[in-house]
Amino acid sequence: MKTLVMLSNHHVHLTEEDAKILFGEKGITFNRYLAGDSGPWASNEFVEVRGPKGSLSKFRVLGPTRGYTQCEVLKADCFKLGIDPPVRNSGQLEGAAELTLAGPCGSVTRNCGIIAWRHIHVDKATLAGLGLEYYNSRVSVKTGGVRACVLENVTLVPGAPGLLMHIDTEEGNAAGCKNGDMLEIVF
């Protein structure tokens, strides 16, 4: 079975409250959908991310707002920021690195920094078609091309019908992947 892959750069998810602190009453505003014509979207807003050692600018904020504030960093970002965040699924912020997020209207300091776990969004029917009963099961995914490799420990998470894999840009670049590639799920 194959899955579509989308690469994910560093970015931020905000609560409604934090969005208003950072950007004022307007909060975050829609720019474009990340895939198709619905679902998660890129906002027009960016934040500066500050760690104990340094800062990085131009982290895009993704919408819609969530019930938690989360900053998904790349491993290379960690050296500049001076943090050692855990690898976690979205929303699992236990042990997350403390970061300060700064916008034009204010800043917030939260334990929100994680490296995102590679994952595949899958619906219940497709999950069953894979012979699996539970979300958070793990599979391996084989990439193609001259830099082909097997990405292990890919978590299956709830999603829309079909299969959509998210890996960060560092993993994708190392494996020679680009947005829209079809990768093979292997067990």
- Per-position DSSP letters for 48-83, written without gaps between them: EEE-SS-EEEEEEEEEEEESS-EEE--HHHHHHHT-
Q: If you ran DSSP here, which 8-state letter would residue 96 be given?
A: P
Residue 36 pLDDT level (bands cut at 50, 70, 90): confident
Candidates 163, 181, 164; CA nearest to 172 is 181
Residue 174 pLDDT level (bands cut at 50, 70, 90): very high
Summarize pLDDT for 147-166 with one digit per residue, the tens: 999 999 999 999 888 899 99
**Average pLDDT value for residue range 22-51:** 94
Q: If you ran DSSP here, which 8-state letter would residue 86 be given?
A: P
Q: What is the pLDDT of residue 187?
A: 80
Q: Do residues 157 and 121 lie in contact, with contact meaning Cβ atoms separated by under 8 Å?
A: yes
**Average pLDDT value for residue range 16-25:** 98
- Distance, in Å, from the CA atom of 96 to the CA atom of 114, rounded to the nearest integer, reads 6
Q: What is the pLDDT of residue 24?
A: 98
Q: Do residues 177 and 167 lie in contact, with contact meaning Cβ atoms separated by under 8 Å?
A: yes
Candidates 184, 177, 186; CA nearest to 7 is 177
